Amino acid sequence: MTHIPFATNFVEPAGSPIRELFPYLSRPGMISLAGGYPSPSLFDTEGLQEAAARALSGPGALQYGATEGLPALREALALLCGARGITCSPADLIVTTGSQQAFDLLLRIFIAPGDTVCVETPAYPAAIQALRLADAQILSAPVDEQGLDVEALAERLQRLPVAQRPKLLYTVPSFSNPCGTLLPAARREALVRLALEYGFLIVEDDPYGELAFTDERPASLYAVGQRIAAEANPVLYLSSLSKTVAPGLRIGWMIAPADVLRRCVVAKQTMDLCTSPLAQQIAAEYLGAGRYPAGVERACAEYKKRMLALSSGLRAGLGSNIAFVQPQGGMFIWARVAVPVDAKRLFEAAVQCGVLYVPGAAFYPENPDLGTLRLSYAAPDVEQIREGVARLTKAFDQASTS
């Protein structure tokens, strides 16, 4: 063991609470309703194999690439964003190694120790983890059944001293992780106006927005910011191909003003120099082949079936013992236990019964609601979901009577 002291934030660093559940997955017969992994059955293996063959037909994909990303992929991603209602050019975005890296880059260029960052709570655990390692002050913004409660946030900001106001606000407005909520259009506009009033930037993380179970979807926060503020748009847009194509590609991207992108490029150069050119070229070839829309449509249809299986199973098996809002898209159901049950005892009973979920405490920077849990319907098929709910029902019975 080294005698050189570790940096303060790495003396006793907290790992990802979700990845710490991995050892349970190796147990024979375990059904996981935990990790937000896309279903392997929905990977367009044929299309990706063809794209990989084209990518490897020349030496370019095996060489170093520009830190900003390969021109072909930036062009394809700009077109993809255009289909989402976002006006941008390839020069307006950089390619990152997943959208998580994009968030980390923003923390590196904006946040000094002690700076405030606002996070909707419950929140994506990796965002909380990144903020803690950046030594940021975390300001929780409350969430209700429609997502971020903008009125409550406005009241909280009004009470804050100027020196404690946030520099950034992190949100997943479309089918959020963990809550699965969809922020309404009126709240989106109000949030953008709030950012302009109080001078903070909104980091919109959008990995799930296309996984919708309805055609009625509000415009992205970035598009709202373009409409309201034009060149002064306070929204930085992050997205990823991990949930819609394949997480193994590790392709994410960020849309931001030139001065932000320039600094992120410098920060990224010290991280990985560039996102894998081979993965980028495969992604560019895949998007260029026109197979992406059909793949997303297929995923939406399948995830809706799985969501309905989980929702109906929970209602039938647990009834009034559990409360949740049925999501309109994405990969998650956020539930609250409606009867007194010890959270630790319930989780242990679930593991013994052969089903895994993520306890809700993982999604709070502080003061966790121990009566909550996140369930994902993305990876297991319908039959596995039904069996998983039966096991969870048994675990509730055991935890309630023991």
Alpha-carbon separation of residue 362 from 29, 118, 126, 128, 204 (angstroms): 24, 17, 10, 9, 21
pLDDT for res 25? 76
Alpha-carbon separation of residue 10 from 128, 129, 271 (angstroms): 15, 12, 18
**Are residues 264 and 157 part of one domain?**
yes
The strand pairing partners of 372, in sequence order, are 336
**Are residues 213 and 353 part of one domain?**
no
Q: Give percent of the chain with pLDDT exceeding 90.
A: 87
The verdict on residue 236 lying in a domain is: yes
- SS3 (DSSP) at 90: helix
Confidence of residue 81 (pLDDT cuts 50, 70, 90): very high
Lowest mean pLDDT across 15-19, 223-227, 323-327: 15-19
What order of strands is seen across the sheet that includes strand 322-324?
322-324, 332-337, 372-376, 358-359
Report whether pLDDT(285) > 70.
yes
Number of domain units in the chain:
2
The verdict on residue 301 lying in a domain is: yes
Contacts 24+ apart (CB under 8 A), 103-106: 103/127, 103/130, 103/170, 103/203, 103/205, 103/238, 104/130, 105/254, 105/264, 105/267, 105/268, 105/271, 106/168, 106/203, 106/236, 106/254, 106/260, 106/264
Distance CA 108, CA 264 (A): 8
Distance CA 46, CA 72 (A): 21
Q: Examine residue 5 and say whether the peptide bond preceding it is cis (omega within 30 degrees of 0).
A: no
**pLDDT tens by residue, 238-251:** 999 999 999 999 99
List of residues 6+ apart from 127 with CB closer than 8 A = 103, 119, 170, 205
Backbone phi and psi for residue 101, each to the nearest 5 degrees, phi listed first: -65, -35
Q: Last residue of a domain, which of 256, 290, 324?
A: 290
**pLDDT tens by residue, 307-332:** 999 999 999 999 999 999 999 999 99
Q: Last residue of a domain, which of 290, 310, 337?
A: 290
- Dihedral (C-alpha) 33, 36, 41, 45: value to the nearest 10 degrees? -160
**Are residues 57 and 32 part of one domain?**
no
**pLDDT tens by residue, 94-142:** 999 999 999 999 999 999 999 999 999 999 999 999 999 999 999 999 9
Report whether pLDDT(1) > 70.
no
pLDDT for res 402? 57
Report whether pLDDT(201) > 80.
yes
Taking the whole predicted model, whether its pTM rises above 0.85 is answered as yes
Distance CA 154, CA 149 (A): 9
List of residues 6+ apart from 17 with CB closer than 8 A = 125, 358, 361, 362
Tokens at residue 35, please? 């990790």
The verdict on residue 3 lying in a domain is: no
**Are residues 346 and 286 part of one domain?**
no
Q: Are 213 and 329 in contact (CB under 8 A)?
A: yes
The verdict on residue 220 lying in a domain is: yes
pLDDT for res 59? 85
**Are residues 272 and 312 part of one domain?**
no
Note down the domain range covering 348: 11-44+294-401
The verdict on residue 57 lying in a domain is: yes
CATH number of the domain at 175, please: 3.40.640.10
The verdict on residue 95 lying in a domain is: yes
Q: Give percent of the chain with pLDDT exceeding 70.
A: 98
**Are residues 315 and 187 part of one domain?**
no
Q: Residues 277-304: what's their mean pLDDT?
A: 98
**Are residues 304 and 244 part of one domain?**
no
Nearest to residue 233, comparing CAs of 260, 208, 251?
A: 260
**Beta strand segments in 134-234, E:** 137-144, 147-148, 168-171, 201-205
Q: Residues 231-235: what's their mean pLDDT?
A: 95
Confidence of residue 68 (pLDDT cuts 50, 70, 90): very high
H or E element at residue 372: strand 372-376
The verdict on residue 2 lying in a domain is: no
**pLDDT tens by residue, 155-194:** 999 999 999 999 999 999 999 999 999 999 999 999 999 9
Tokens at residue 167, please? 């520099």
- Please provide the average confidence, as pLDDT, over all residues in the chain: 94
Distance CA 156, CA 143 (A): 13
**Are residues 171 and 30 part of one domain?**
no
The strand pairing partners of 359, in sequence order, are 373
Q: Last residue of a domain, which of 290, 321, 345?
A: 290
Tokens at residue 362, please? 């993982």
Q: Are 322 and 336 in contact (CB under 8 A)?
A: yes
**Are residues 272 and 172 part of one domain?**
yes
pLDDT for res 400? 81
The verdict on residue 1 lying in a domain is: no
pLDDT for res 339? 75
Alpha-carbon separation of residue 356 from 7, 14, 250, 313 (angstroms): 34, 21, 25, 16
How many helices and strands in the chain, by DSSP H and E? Answer: 13, 14
**Are residues 131 and 30 part of one domain?**
no
**Are residues 393 and 267 part of one domain?**
no
Lowest mean pLDDT across 10-24, 64-78, 82-96, 255-269: 10-24
What order of strands is seen across the sheet that includes strand 235-240?
93-97, 251-255, 235-240, 201-205, 168-171, 116-121, 137-144, 147-148
CATH number of the domain at 365, please: 3.90.1150.10
**Are residues 362 and 322 part of one domain?**
yes
pLDDT for res 2? 63
